[in-house]
Structure 1
Amino acid sequence: MGDIDYGISILLWNGVFLASGAVAAIFARKRFDWRWLAIALALLNLNLALVVDMFGINAFLFDLAGSPATSFNWAGKIVALSVSLVLIATPLIDREAAGITLRQAASWKVGWAVFALLFAIDIVLALMSDTPAFDTDTIAYQLTMPSLDEEIFYRGVLLYCLVQAFGEGPRFFAANFGWAAGIATIMFGAIHCFVWTDTGIFFSPEIALFAGGIGLLLMWLRLSTGSVLAPILMHSVVNTAWRLV
């Protein structure tokens, strides 16, 4: 893979979002609210721009912190997470409806039972893998930043906006999985599996399957428990178990 052009990559991700939204709008018909879809797109672009440092904020914070020895995007994730938390504190986003709560839904037992099963499977797979030890910086970052930023945004803020645009969708195995959840899951997978580089589009089918599958499971956990708590914990486990066990 060549050098990533994040400006063009964001345009590609916008294309995925707009295509998904257009398909959903056609089938949702009367339930569709284009204003909330526009808000969702605007917030998605803001989150992406902050994470990839389109405004130069990350470099400034990195220098301010004394240029610590790290190969991870701490600043980008922290800034993006902070903006998500600010949005949640405003009247735009209903915190509980967005799942930013410890309160669990009526179907929480099913969700947490699946969480326990997935946790056990991940630990077993980690025990079977042969991976080298990782340093403290890697563990600290993977244990916190991806799960906090991505779960609170994709399965919290973004999902909330998309639900306002399309509704919750039909009930399926203890979760209302509709167009909103589908688009949020597609976008989570898209930003992980393809980017624009100096040699053209880079796409990884393996990452697409992995990120898409994990994203689907995390979304189901969010919907079945009514909170981002289970997805945050599961995301952290997926990112770190094979590095720790």
Structure 2
Amino acid sequence: MMNDFSLYCAAMFLGEIIFILPFILLSPQRQYRYIILLFAILLGDIIVTVSPVHLSLHIGHWNWIGKTLALLFSIILIYVLKLSPNAVGLRLPQTARQWRDTALGIMVLMVYMSVIVFVSGDPSSPNPLENWLFEATLPGIDEELFFRGVAIVVTSQAFPQLRFNIPQWVAPFTITTGMFALFHLFSISHGHVSFNWLSTLAGVLPISIGLYVIRYRTGSVFSGMVAHNMANLTNFFLTTS
């Protein structure tokens, strides 16, 4: 009989099929090596991230271990797959327009998060230093490097061209944004899975779209890291007592 963790992984894999299969059908030349690799790294990143939580391996109250392992996972993938640092986005914005778009993207996400908090009426939460340290660092660094860095490159390799004159960017946008939202749709703790559909639909999905736009407009994964963490910190600032 499958436990909750196995069901969680099965749900993630089913999500991969739902998001990736249409592009397999739309691809005139199927790059099966990269398609299989894409399936593997998406599921691998999720398992690496949530396994410590499932096993109740904690440092403090947050998933420091899982996020650190996921960050190392992305770094190893960049090295083993010999991904170009520029392609991954490991560079600062290069032009005045890219810096402007970085600043604008950060402000837009912070304002959007503020609106979400006020509309939802989230209850106040304690304000330990650990909350601020975690939200200011690992979520944005880990998730942006993987979803808007490594995963975008591998998805582009898997689907370099689409039928019916569909722009190539549609595949990496749909797959990485969809999987990012699905990853946040479910949460697992002490072997139990919870379903966060409202916060995912209203908060995570729009934020994920905004982060992809920032990555696309600036060419820098660092811009997304700052925007991601600033959005998280905005949420904490407005919901702490």
Report TM bin, short chain: 0.7 to 0.9
The yes-or-no answer on 1:88 pairing with 2:75 is no
**What residue identity is the alignment partner of 1:50?**
V
The yes-or-no answer on 1:140 pairing with 2:133 is yes
Q: 1:108 aligns with which of 77, 98, 109?
A: 98
CA distance in 2, matches of 1:146, 1:168: 31
**What residue identity is the alignment partner of 1:81?**
L
Conserved? CA contact 2:16–2:179, under 8 Å:
yes
The yes-or-no answer on 1:99 pairing with 2:92 is no
Q: For 1:178-228, what per-residue CA distance to the aligned partner results, in whole angstroms no more than 9, with x for missing partners?
A: 111210100000011136899x98543312312111111111111111111
DSSP-derived class of the 1:29 partner: coil
Q: 1:44 offset after TM fit, Å? A: 1.6
The yes-or-no answer on 1:36 pairing with 2:45 is no
CA distance in 1, matches of 2:230, 2:17: 32
Counterpart for residue 13 of structure 1: 12
Conserved? CA contact 1:13–1:191, under 8 Å:
yes
Conserved? CA contact 1:155–1:219, under 8 Å:
yes
The yes-or-no answer on 1:53 pairing with 2:46 is no
Conserved? CA contact 1:58–1:76, under 8 Å:
no
Q: 1:120 offset after TM fit, Å? A: 5.6
Q: 1:92 offset after TM fit, Å? A: 3.1
**What residue identity is the alignment partner of 1:88?**
I
Counterpart for residue 154 of structure 2: 161
Instruction: Return the TM-score normalized by structure 2.
Output: 0.80
DSSP-derived class of the 2:136 partner: helix
Q: Which runs of 5+ in 1 are unaligned?
A: 63-67
C-alpha root-mean-square deviation of aligned residues, in Å?
3.5
Q: How many residues align structurally?
A: 230
Counterpart for residue 206 of structure 2: 213
Percent sequence identity is: 21
**What residue identity is the alignment partner of 2:48?**
L
Query: Structure 1's 106 and 13: CA in aligned 2 closer, same or farther, altered over 3 A?
Result: farther
CA distance in 2, matches of 1:168, 1:147: 30
DSSP-derived class of the 2:181 partner: helix
Query: Structure 1's 225 and 131: CA in aligned 2 closer, same or farther, altered over 3 A?
Result: same
CA distance in 2, matches of 1:58, 1:81: 19
Query: Structure 1's 56 and 22: CA in aligned 2 closer, same or farther, altered over 3 A?
Result: closer
Conserved? CA contact 2:215–2:224, under 8 Å:
yes
Q: For 1:108-127, what per-residue CA distance to the aligned partner results, in whole angstroms no more than 9, with x for missing partners?
A: 25632531541562586499
Q: 1:77 offset after TM fit, Å? A: 0.7
The yes-or-no answer on 1:76 pairing with 2:66 is yes
Query: Structure 1's 184 and 106: CA in aligned 2 closer, same or farther, altered over 3 A?
Result: farther
Q: 1:150 offset after TM fit, Å? A: 0.6
CA distance in 1, matches of 2:174, 2:138: 23
**What residue identity is the alignment partner of 2:148?**
R
DSSP-derived class of the 1:36 partner: helix
Query: Structure 1's 125 and 207: CA in aligned 2 closer, same or farther, altered over 3 A?
Result: closer
Counterpart for residue 221 of structure 2: 228
Q: Which residues of 2 match residues 56-67 of structure 1 at below 5 A?
A: 59=57
Q: For 1:137-195, what per-residue CA distance to the aligned partner results, in whole angstroms no more than 9, with x for missing partners?
A: 111111111111111011111111001111388899xxx73111210100000011136
Conserved? CA contact 2:177–2:209, under 8 Å:
yes
Q: Which runs of 5+ in 2 are unaligned?
A: none
CA distance in 1, matches of 2:54, 2:7: 17
Q: 1:94 offset after TM fit, Å? A: 1.8
